[in-house]
């Protein structure tokens, strides 16, 4: 009975531990360490920020620029509100399944949403189909909502050309075009540079080869058990 209690206590204590945060892990001899971004590094975090900094700067710059002259600030509130909601939901349906989320503490330390508050417990199992669908929809609106705000402003100015200068209208069009290009580039770089080495393996856009996923799971028994219980086939 004591052994059973000890085992349960140990499982509870270690249920949120992965080799990503295990300071005793023998990373030097790990054969997949160069194939995964499985350890926190500032340069990897900055890489992610630099991917979307241009898009976010252009999007918010365009919305604020238009609001100054048009006077409609509510779109800025809509975009900020959606972003806040998105990140709260994303933390549960995506981030909570990631090995980086397994670190003890209230603040998330990872290579993307670094510094977010961990409202939810760690989920070692893979994402469900419903979570994946919600994430895809969320990402779609993550791009469409701010672009929609810009389209709205362009239409308002276009329908009231006598009230606004030609230059103002052209600047809005240029900012809209640059926003689309920067968002597209950001996502392309995300999918081609970051997703192939990301340890959040069940994300819809994760492209880590299965043999590497299997190797990582083998090194992390708690996560491995949760994935197998979710009908993952380990080879």
Q: Which residues contact 56 (CB under 8 A, 6 or more apart)?
A: none
Q: Is the pLDDT of residue 59 over 80?
A: yes
Q: Which residues contact 29 (CB under 8 A, 6 or more apart)?
A: none
- The span from the CA of 117 to the CA of 125, in Å, is 20
**Of residues 143, 156, 136, the one with CA closest to residue 56:** 143
- Sign (positive/negative) of CA torsion 79, 204, 225, 27? negative
pTM of this structure:
0.87
Mean model confidence pLDDT for the chain = 92
Burial class of residue 172 (count of CB atoms within 10 Å of its CB; 0-12, 13-18, 19+): buried
Quick one: average pLDDT of 44-73?
Answer: 96
Cα–Cα distances in angstroms (integers) from residue 60 to residues 40, 74, 84, in the given order = 29, 13, 14
pLDDT in tens, 161-172: 889 999 999 999
**Regarding predicted confidence, which is higher, 12 or 79?**
79
- The span from the CA of 136 to the CA of 89, in Å, is 12
Where along the chain do its domains lie?
Answer: 37-193, 205-235
The reported pLDDT for the residue numbered 190 is 96
pLDDT in tens, 70-103: 998 999 999 999 999 999 999 999 999 999 999 9
The reported pLDDT for the residue numbered 198 is 98
């Amino acid at each position: 009975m004591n052994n059973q209690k000890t085992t349960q206590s140990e499982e509870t204590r270690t249920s949120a531990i992965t080799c990503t945060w295990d300071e005793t892990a023998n990373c030097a001899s790990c054969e997949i360490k160069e194939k995964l971004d499985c350890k926190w590094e500032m340069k990897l975090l900055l890489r992610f920020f630099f991917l979307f900094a241009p898009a976010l700067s252009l999007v918010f710059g365009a919305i604020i620029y238009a609001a100054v002259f048009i006077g409609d600030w509510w779109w800025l509130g809509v975009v900020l509100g959606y972003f806040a909601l998105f990140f709260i939901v994303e933390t549960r349906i995506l981030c909570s399944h990631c090995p980086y989320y397994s670190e003890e503490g209230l603040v998330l330390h990872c290579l993307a949403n670094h510094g977010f508050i961990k409202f939810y417990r760690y989920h070692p199992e893979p994402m469900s189909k419903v979570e994946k669908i919600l994430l895809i929809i969320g990402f779609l609106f993550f791009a469409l909502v701010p672009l929609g705000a810009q389209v709205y402003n362009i239409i308002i100015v276009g329908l009231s050309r006598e009230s606004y200068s030609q230059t103002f209208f052209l600047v809005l069009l240029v900012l809209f075009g640059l926003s689309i290009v920067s968002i597209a580039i950001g996502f392309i770089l995300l999918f081609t540079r970051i997703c192939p080495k990301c340890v959040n393996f069940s994300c819809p856009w994760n492209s880590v080869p299965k043999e590497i996923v299997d190797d990582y799971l083998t090194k992390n028994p708690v996560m491995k058990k949760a994935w197998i219980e979710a009908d993952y086939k380990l080879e």
